[in-house]
A and B are shown apart, each in its own frame.
Chain A
Amino acid sequence: MYPEDLRYTKDHEWVRVQGERGTIGITDHAQKQLGDVVFLELPAVGRTLKQHETFGTVESVKAVSELFAPLSGAVLEANTALSQQPEKINTDPYGEAWMVVVKLSVSTEVAELMDASAYRAYVESEAK
C-alpha cells in the first residue's frame, strides 16, 4: 500500500504536504513489521520538531519503535484519540492513524523525501 499523494522516509514515516501543513504517520509496511500496536506516545501541541530527531514512540506487544520527524516544524495538532486506540495504526495507517500535523518550517526538506514509487522500491530492496 503506497498512496500516491504522500511522501515517505527511510524510517517508514509518511507525510501529506498541504501548503505549510504536513500530516505525519507511519506506513503500512511499518505497521506490518511492528505487529499489533498497543502503545503510542506523541509530542504535545506547540513542541518544535527537528527533522530526523525522535518525536515519539510506538510500541507493539513485542517491539519498541521510535518515531523520527520527517520534516521540521511546530506541532499544530496531535492525534490524542489515536493514543487511546493505537490499534488503528494497524488497521488504518494512512487515515485514522495520522499522528501529528506540523507547520513546516524548512520548505526545502520536502524534496528530500521519497515519492510513492521510490519508497516502494526501497521497501522491496530491504526485503531481499
Chain B
Amino acid sequence: MEQAAVALRKTPLNAWHRASGAKMVPFGGWDMPVEYSGLIAEHRAVRTAAGLFDVSHMGEFTLTGPGALAFLQRVTCNDVAKLVDGQAQYSALPMPSGAPVDDIIVSRRGAESFLIVVNASNIDKDFAWLQQHGPRDCELTNRSDDYALIALQGPKAAAILQSLVTFDLATVAYYHFREGDVSGCWASISRTGYTGEDGFELMVAPEHAEPVWRKLTDTGREHGLLPVGLGARDTLRLEARLCLYGNDIDETTSLVEAGLGWTIALVDHKGDFVGRGVLESQKKNGAPRKLVGFEMIERGIARHGYAVYLGDERQGVVTSGSYAPFLQKNIGLCYLPTSQSAVGTEISVEIRERRVGARVVPTPFYKRPR
C-alpha cells in the first residue's frame, strides 16, 4: 500500500534532503532519504572517511525522579545501576516470553534522570508498554518531537567534529556522552552508532538540525564526508551484525536466541525484571534456536524473507540479507536450530525457486580496525 507523501511525517532536514536530490522513501510513517549519491559510495565513505545520517525520526523518552532507576531495572534487561553520569548502554524491553518489545539505548544523565532512545517504528508501542508497567515515583515523558538526531560515523568522524566543539573529544569514551555546543548550538553528544565505526550521535533542538548539518557537511567535505541514507545505514549495520528490530528481532524471538544474551544482567541487585525467568533459564540451559551469520558460497543474493534450508528441511527465513558493499560479498542472518548452527554448517537459501548454497560464518562480518 502506497503512502501519499502528504501523509508522511518530515524531519527538520527534509527540505535539505529533497534539495540535494536524495531518493526519498516512506519509512515507518516518515519521508526519509534512502540514498543521495549512491548506496555503495555512501557505505564505503562511512568505512573509509565519514558519513552523516539524519535519524531524527527515532524516539526519545525522558524518565526523571527518585523511582526512575528502579523502574528501569524492572522493565529493561541490562543493569542500569552500573551506569555513571554520562554513560549509556544498549538494552531491550523484554516481554514475559523473553522476546523484546524493542531494543533501546538507555543513558544516565543523573541519578534521577535518564534518556531512552527507541526505534522510530516503535515509539508509540514502547511508550504504551512503559506506561502499562506503572512508573512509580518517576515521570515518563515522550520528548521525540523535541529533539533532532544526527549521526556522524566513520574513522574521520572525530577529526571532523573536533573542530566544531570546544572540548577534547578524546575525553568522550565509547558509549559515553556529554553536552556541548556544536557550532554554537546546544547538543548532547554521545559516542554511539549503528555502523560498526567510531562515531557520534548528536541530539539537538529541531531548529538547530539544519545549521548543524550544514556546518558538518561543510567541515567534513575535505575529509570525504558524504550524507548517507537509510539504504546504506542498513547495509552498514548488517556488516557489523547489529540487529534490526522487525527483521532479526521481534516479539517472537528471545533475546538469548538473537545473540543478545550479553545485555541480560542476572545480577542480584537488579532484582526481578520482565522476562527474567525465561531469560535466566535460556542462558543456563540454552535456547532452541540461534541467530547466525552466513555467507553465500554460490551465486545469488539472500534477502529478508527468503526460505532457508538445512538439507531438504526448511528452517525458517532469512531475517536480514544483502550484498555487503564494503566486504563485497553476499551475507545474511537467519535462525537455525542451536544444535545445527556451528560455523561451517552448510545451508541453502531459496532464491526464485532455486536453492543456492551458503555457509554459516563467524560474526560480526566486519570489525573495524583498531
Task: Name A residues whose Cβ lies closer than 8 Å to a Cβ of B.
Answer: 35-36, 38-39, 57, 59-62, 64
**Smallest distance from the beta carbon of A121 to chain B beta carbons, Å?**
23
Contact of A61 among B23, B299, B322, B352 (CB under 8 A): B322
Cα separation A98 to B247 with both chains bound (whole Å) = 36
Nearest A-chain residue to B231, judged by Cβ: A62
Cα separation A57 to B352 with both chains bound (whole Å) = 10
Contact of B231 among A38, A57, A61, A64 (CB under 8 A): A61
**Smallest distance from the beta carbon of A41 to chain B beta carbons, Å?**
8
Contacts of B35 in A (CB 8 A): 35
Given contacts A36-B39, A61-B235, A64-B303, 15 further A-B contacts (CB under 8 A): A35-B23, A36-B38, A36-B40, A36-B325, A38-B301, A38-B323, A39-B299, A39-B300, A57-B352, A59-B301, A60-B39, A61-B231, A61-B323, A62-B39, A62-B231
Does B38 contact A39, Cβ atoms closer than 8 Å?
Answer: no
Does B303 contact A61, Cβ atoms closer than 8 Å?
Answer: no
What is the predominant secondary structure among interface residues of chain B facing chain A?
A: mixed
Give the top 10 A-B pairs by smallest Cβ distance, nearest first.
Answer: A36-B40, A38-B323, A61-B39, A36-B39, A61-B323, A62-B231, A36-B38, A39-B301, A35-B39, A59-B301
Cα separation A57 to B300 with both chains bound (whole Å) = 11
Contacts of A57 in B (CB 8 A): 352
Q: Is B279 an interface residue (CB 8 A)?
A: no
Contacts of B352 in A (CB 8 A): 57
**Smallest distance from the beta carbon of A29 to chain B beta carbons, Å?**
13
Contacts of A61 in B (CB 8 A): 39-40, 231, 235, 322-323, 325
Cα separation A62 to B233 with both chains bound (whole Å) = 12
Does A35 contact B231, Cβ atoms closer than 8 Å?
Answer: yes
Q: Is B99 an interface residue (CB 8 A)?
A: no
Nearest A-chain residue to B232, judged by Cβ: A61
Q: Using an 8 Å CB-CB cutoff, how does the interface string of B268-302 with A read, 1 for contact, 0 for none?
A: 00000000000000000000000000000001110
Q: Using an 8 Å CB-CB cutoff, how does the interface string of B21-46 with A read, 1 for contact, 0 for none?
A: 00100000000001100111100000
Contacts of A36 in B (CB 8 A): 38-41, 325
**Smallest distance from the beta carbon of B104 to chain A beta carbons, Å?**
27
**Smallest distance from the beta carbon of B105 to chain A beta carbons, Å?**
26
Cα separation A64 to B302 with both chains bound (whole Å) = 11
Cα separation A27 to B322 with both chains bound (whole Å) = 24
Nearest A-chain residue to B23, judged by Cβ: A35
**Smallest distance from the beta carbon of B155 to chain A beta carbons, Å?**
22
Cα separation A35 to B234 with both chains bound (whole Å) = 15
Contacts of A62 in B (CB 8 A): 34, 39, 231
**Smallest distance from the beta carbon of A83 to chain B beta carbons, Å?**
9
Cα separation A60 to B231 with both chains bound (whole Å) = 11
Cα separation A64 to B303 with both chains bound (whole Å) = 10
22 pairs, CB–CB < 8 Å, chain A vs chain B: A35-B35, A35-B39, A36-B38, A36-B39, A36-B41, A38-B40, A38-B301, A38-B323, A39-B300, A39-B301, A39-B323, A57-B352, A60-B39, A61-B40, A61-B231, A61-B322, A61-B323, A61-B325, A62-B34, A62-B39, A64-B301, A64-B303
Nearest A-chain residue to B234, judged by Cβ: A62
Nearest B-chain residue to A35, judged by Cβ: B39
Cα separation A33 to B323 with both chains bound (whole Å) = 18
Nearest A-chain residue to B235, judged by Cβ: A61
**Smallest distance from the beta carbon of B63 to chain A beta carbons, Å?**
37
Nearest B-chain residue to A66, judged by Cβ: B352
Contacts of B38 in A (CB 8 A): 35-36
Contacts of A35 in B (CB 8 A): 23, 35, 38-39, 231
**Smallest distance from the beta carbon of B119 to chain A beta carbons, Å?**
20
**Smallest distance from the beta carbon of B146 to chain A beta carbons, Å?**
32
Cα separation A38 to B38 with both chains bound (whole Å) = 12
Nearest A-chain residue to B34, judged by Cβ: A62
Cα separation A62 to B38 with both chains bound (whole Å) = 11
Nearest B-chain residue to A39, judged by Cβ: B301
**Smallest distance from the beta carbon of B134 to chain A beta carbons, Å?**
42
**Smallest distance from the beta carbon of A58 to chain B beta carbons, Å?**
11
Contacts of A59 in B (CB 8 A): 301, 323
